[in-house]
Structure 1
Amino acid sequence: MPDHISGDKEFEDIPSIRNKALRINLNENIYGTFAEIGAGQETVRNFFRAGGASGTIAKTMSAYDKDFSDAIYGIEKDGRYVTESRLKKMLSHEINLIEERIIREKHPTKLFFAYANTVATIDFAKKYKGHGWIGIRYQIDPNEEYNEITLHVRFHENDAMLQQITLGILGVNLIYGAYYKYDTPKKLLRYLYDHIDKDKIEIDTINFSGPNFENVDNRLMSLQLIKNGMTDAVMFGPDGHNILPAKILYKKNILALRGSFRPVTKVNIDMYNKSYEMFLEENRVEKDRTEVIFEITLSNLRAEGEIDEEDFMDRARLLCSLGHTVMISNFQEYYKLVEYFSRYTKMRIGLAMGVNNLVDVFDEKYYRHLSGGILEAFGKLFFKDLKVYLYPMKDAKTGEFTTSENLKVHPRMKELYKFFKYNGKVVDIDNYNPDILNIFSREVLSKIESGEEGWEKMLPEGVSEIIKSKSLFSCNSKKTTV
């Protein structure tokens, strides 16, 4: 099978969906169940139509009625059905039934699987396009523990029937990839879009687990989703597990810090601490309903050419070790980031940024692709309940501090800047630490890579120890001070 993303170009040697299903059916060892809720039994339908399904399908079911579903899989604490928790309960229940009902001694070579999805398709008003959780728990070796692949999708088609067809194709691609591409997870990920245009469905979360995926870091799989154009943003928590963005952001106050974090310096953490304190003092901002997001853009990861995955993982490991939630996005412009957050919340949004970043926000060249130019972008950026927390900059030569009061923007932007400044949309972080404003990530990184001394004192307490112990940013490739 060629190494490509289907949808960009059709290749003759891509197996058809029927042929994929047939290959599974003709494998005498693959055997399991299908449990599909919410969009018809679209995946298993492909296996029935392909022929030879009796050797593959132990059972297929669809517990559409909520009471039946609760009786089979249990009641969710939040009362919802289209959730990751529901999917995992479905997979566990169905695998347990296979183990109970199929005698292993009689079928020593069988590779059991359970495929499940729980989905909500587009509503009649066509305001809510729908989403769903899809997964497979399966064996590659009958004597090993189960592997698992779970993913979350967002539908973009405007017709329920079309969404069902797309879901069925995706399901076949997942099962086929799980068995025949498990040794190359990055390719497995791309092949999920075989015979599906990328604008039909978005995969925004995926997690691999099990003995065959022990060396797979799910944060790196998240990065592949962005690189492959499967979604615009992914998130993962301090434990390194990929998180559904909606789960973190829904009805929350959000404070976002954009940076390279290569590595995290005292300046980054001072900006975080001080902006967070100010954000919590805003009206209607409660600590237990507030999320802080450390965001890295894809353009930042590509700053020096192609994305260095090891460099990305170093940043991810460090931020996770510090207990932060990380977001990787394809949003170069801030207004797109705010639009994204606004999908999930109508509560307050804060952006913490340095002076240079704000100057870029008021640069017209970033908005030439918009018919309404910078005014359209600013309408989207500041229309919401948003505030910018501005961290100052120190001139290395003159020692002068630049704040919102003396910041210089293009002459054409002066009045626009004043409008937002004096309407309270831009506020200074005034309790910053002036002694650290001469610290820059690029200089710290240069010292680490060249083995120079003294970089440790430029980082927050404990960070240098993490970098050394985990050998991040080529720390131990050359002699460094311990």
Structure 2
Amino acid sequence: MQRMNAEMDVGTNKKAFQINLDQKKYGTFAEIGAGQEVARRFFHVGGAAGTVAKTMSAYDMTFSDAIYGTADRYVSRNRLRTMLDHEYKLLVERLDAKFGGERTFFVFADTVAARSFKQHNESHGWLGVRFQSETRSAPSEIIIHVRMLDEANVDQQEALGVVGVNLLYGAFYYHQPEKLIASLQENLADERIQVDMVKFSGPDYANVDNRLMSLQLVSQGLTNAVMFTADGESVQPAEVFYKKAILVERGSFRPVTYATNDMLNGARAVFLNQCEYSENDLVVLMEMTLENL
């Protein structure tokens, strides 16, 4: 087991305790899968009554559907978005009159598939935080996708708790997205977690280019590769590749030329003809390395 050493544990607890002591922060934790490891950190260090308005974990699909609506995939960006929408709306509706003038609200949510006794599928999860930077301001949001690399379920839970605390702390106190990204693996060994997707949105990040933030994940060693669409949308590869055929062209694309398009169109025609796929089944991917940027 790759348990955290005492120094790492202290570092994570220190962050959670600092948030608990911040009298302006107040919010909800909604976690599905891998326990309630993020909320647990805040209760463990003490002072959580001043930070935690509510925690919940709808493990059973029937309960989850009743609260958040039905879903095709429960560990997905769409499910995370629904959780953030639902919990943030409730938080503001129920507490704005009482605390809205003096406290900034937040919702932390995650939906995770951790290693189980019966299955050894890929262990991964979606984590997000929606938060106000000023009282009664429009919220900003950060979403990440993580891959958990530990073999034991208990170690995956522990690592998830650390990343969740890091994400919350960064959202509250690091105003430079690059610094927040660098902090996501703090207090964890590199081989325990990969972060392969990040997206910043909302008024606090109006000028942030999420393509550049995705590249930060690679350059800072949080993952080996990232993906974004032609219109600049950050995506997690499994979202795009699920049940699809993939055609890859590698190059520098500085710039994309007529020759580039001719090669790609020719390859696409041969691919579709020989493999008997339709256009809807095909994803065309243009690959480049950081050295070509």
Q: Which residue of 2 aligns with 1:451?
A: none
Letter in 1 for 2:289: T
Where 2:62 maps in the other structure, the secondary structure is helix
Q: Indicate whether 1:225 and 2:231 are aligned.
A: no
1:133–1:152 contact (8 Å) kept in structure 2? yes
Q: Indicate whether 1:194 and 2:189 are aligned.
A: no
For 1:20, which of 1, 15, 24 is the aligned residue? 15
Cα distance in 2 for residues equivalent to 1:14 and 1:259: 43
Letter in 2 for 1:222: S
Q: Indicate whether 1:269 and 2:261 are aligned.
A: yes
Where 1:82 maps in the other structure, the secondary structure is coil
Letter in 2 for 1:61: M
Q: Where does structure 2 lack aligned partners over 5 or more consecutive residues? A: none
Q: Indicate whether 1:68 and 2:63 are aligned.
A: yes
Q: Which residue of 2 aligns with 1:154?
A: 147
Letter in 1 for 2:110: N
Letter in 2 for 1:71: A
Deviation at 1:123, TM superposition (A): 3.3
For residues 141-166 of structure 1, give each alpha carbon's deviation from its aligned partner in whole angstroms, at most 9, with x where no partner exists: 11321010001111111000000000
Where 2:283 maps in the other structure, the secondary structure is strand
Task: Map residues 210-359 of structure 1 onto 2, 5 A cutoff.
Answer: 210-301=202-293
Q: Indicate whether 1:163 and 2:156 are aligned.
A: yes
Cα distance in 2 for residues equivalent to 1:86 and 1:189: 23
Where 2:261 maps in the other structure, the secondary structure is helix
Alpha carbons of structure 1 residues 286 and 81: separation in structure 2 relative to 1, 3 Å? same
Alpha carbons of structure 1 residues 251 and 206: separation in structure 2 relative to 1, 3 Å? same
Deviation at 1:292, TM superposition (A): 0.3
Alpha carbons of structure 1 residues 196 and 94: separation in structure 2 relative to 1, 3 Å? same
Cα distance in 1 for residues equivalent to 2:8 and 2:185: 15
Q: Which residue of 2 aligns with 1:54?
A: 49
Deviation at 1:106, TM superposition (A): 4.7
Alpha carbons of structure 1 residues 141 and 14: separation in structure 2 relative to 1, 3 Å? farther
2:185–2:193 contact (8 Å) kept in structure 1? no
Letter in 2 for 1:29: K
Q: Which residue of 1 aligns with 2:102?
A: 109
For residues 92-141 of structure 1, give each alpha carbon's deviation from its aligned partner in whole angstroms, at most 9, with x where no partner exists: 11111111111336540211000000001013366324111000000111
Alpha carbons of structure 1 residues 13 and 132: separation in structure 2 relative to 1, 3 Å? closer
Deviation at 1:196, TM superposition (A): 0.9
Alpha carbons of structure 1 residues 280 and 260: separation in structure 2 relative to 1, 3 Å? same
Q: Indicate whether 1:42 and 2:37 are aligned.
A: yes
Cα distance in 2 for residues equivalent to 1:145 and 1:298: 35
Letter in 1 for 2:133: I
2:104–2:136 contact (8 Å) kept in structure 1? no
Letter in 1 for 2:17: L
Cα distance in 2 for residues equivalent to 1:74 and 1:271: 45
Where 2:137 maps in the other structure, the secondary structure is coil
Larger RCO, structure (CA 8 Å, separation 6 or more): 2
1:117–1:133 contact (8 Å) kept in structure 2? yes
Q: Please, what TM-score do these two structures have when normalized by structure 2?
A: 0.94
Task: Map residues 124-139 of structure 1 onto 2, 5 A cutoff.
Answer: 124=117, 127-139=120-132
Larger radius of gyration: 1
Deviation at 1:239, TM superposition (A): 2.4
Q: Which residue of 2 aligns with 1:92?
A: 85
For residues 144-192 of structure 1, give each alpha carbon's deviation from its aligned partner in whole angstroms, at most 9, with x where no partner exists: 21010001111111000000000001110010110000x1100100101
Cα distance in 2 for residues equivalent to 1:139 and 1:185: 16
For 2:197, which of 199, 205, 210 is the aligned residue? 205
1:14–1:194 contact (8 Å) kept in structure 2? no
Alpha carbons of structure 1 residues 123 and 282: separation in structure 2 relative to 1, 3 Å? farther
1:129–1:157 contact (8 Å) kept in structure 2? no
Letter in 2 for 1:101: R
Q: Which residue of 2 aligns with 1:458?
A: none
For 1:180, which of 168, 173, 179 is the aligned residue? 173
Where 1:148 maps in the other structure, the secondary structure is strand
Task: Map residues 398-409 of structure 1 onto 2, 5 A cutoff.
Answer: none
Cα distance in 1 for residues equivalent to 2:190 and 2:104: 31
Q: Where does structure 1 lack aligned partners over 5 or more consecutive residues? A: 1-9, 302-482
Alpha carbons of structure 1 residues 25 and 265: separation in structure 2 relative to 1, 3 Å? same
Q: Which residue of 1 aligns with 2:135?
A: 142
Letter in 2 for 1:65: D
- Aligned residue-pair number: 288
Deviation at 1:277, TM superposition (A): 1.3
1:134–1:152 contact (8 Å) kept in structure 2? yes
2:249–2:264 contact (8 Å) kept in structure 1? yes
Cα distance in 2 for residues equivalent to 1:280 and 1:238: 22
Cα distance in 2 for residues equivalent to 1:15 and 1:261: 46
Where 2:275 maps in the other structure, the secondary structure is coil
